[in-house]
Amino acid sequence: MLKKELFLTAAIFILMLSLNGCRFDYEESIMAENLSEEVPDTILKNFSQIMVKDSVPTFYIEAEESLSFGKRKETVFSNVHFQEFDSEGKVITDGHADNAKMFNETESVELWGGLNFYSDRERASLEGEYLFWDNELSTLSGKPDDRISIVEEDGSEIAGKGFFADSKTKTIKFSSQVSGSWKDE
């Protein structure tokens, strides 16, 4: 009988020790989940990609670094150069930005830092610090307090804050501090 009680006491003691050592730490689990949104799934150095449609390039992008965030469905690029091509494969837009973020589900793009684009179709260049391309609406917009300048090859030059362009209607608007001269043909 004494052996049974001793064995039972030892078993209860071991069970209590093991239960004290086994506990769920939900806080660590939550932190790991949040961290997974901040840590990229893929890091690519000297990234480049060409999109092709009907055997003709449509878009080219190269970046010093590409970070893919699967949970956030975003890709972040640094030191970005890109080109858009027409249906014959001729470059129609050439641009650079210090940084870009592509929203993978909508293909909208946020660009910031040292923006410089040239449109062969429009014969104009655009410079600024921030732009957002809304792919669904085909609009390009700046922040209300950021200055965007546009210079055409014919000498027209205009700059202002609160830039907005609609590629469907071919309209450009500024909300404040507009300056420059525009030649209307």
C-alpha span between 4 and 179 (Å, rounded): 95
In this predicted structure, what is the pLDDT of residue 34? 58
C-alpha span between 100 and 78 (Å, rounded): 7
In this predicted structure, what is the pLDDT of residue 183? 74
Q: Is the pLDDT of residue 145 over 80?
A: yes
Q: Is the pLDDT of residue 12 over 90?
A: no
In this predicted structure, what is the pLDDT of residue 51? 87
- Per CATH, the homologous superfamily of domain 32-181 is Lipopolysaccharide (LPS) transport protein A like domain (2.60.450.10)
For 110-132, what is each residue's pLDDT tens digit?
Answer: 999 999 999 888 899 999 999 99
For 28-40, what is each residue's pLDDT tens digit?
Answer: 555 555 556 788 8
In this predicted structure, what is the pLDDT of residue 173? 92
Q: Which of these, 120, 116, 130, lies nearest to 163 by C-alpha position?
A: 130
- Sign for the CA dihedral angle at 113, 153, 164, 149 comes to positive
CA distances (Å), origin 29, targets 26, 35, 134 = 5, 10, 35
In this predicted structure, what is the pLDDT of residue 121? 85
One-character DSSP codes across the chain: -HHHHHHHHHHHHHHHHHHHH----HHHHHHHHHHHHHS-SEEEEEEEEEEEETTEEEEEEEEEEEEEETTTTEEEEEEEEEEEE-TTS-EEEEEEEEEEEEETTTTEEEEEEEEEEEETTTTEEEEEEEEEEETTTTEEE--TT-EEEEEETTS-EEEEES-EEETTTTEEE--EEEEEE----
Domain assignments of the chain as residue spans, ordered by start: 32-181
Q: Is the pLDDT of residue 59 over 70?
A: yes
In this predicted structure, what is the pLDDT of residue 130? 96
In this predicted structure, what is the pLDDT of residue 28? 57
In this predicted structure, what is the pLDDT of residue 3? 52
pLDDT band at 6 (very low <50, low <70, confident <90, very high): low
Q: Which of these, 77, 136, 137, 81, lies nearest to 110 by C-alpha position?
A: 77
Q: Is the pLDDT of residue 77 over 80?
A: yes
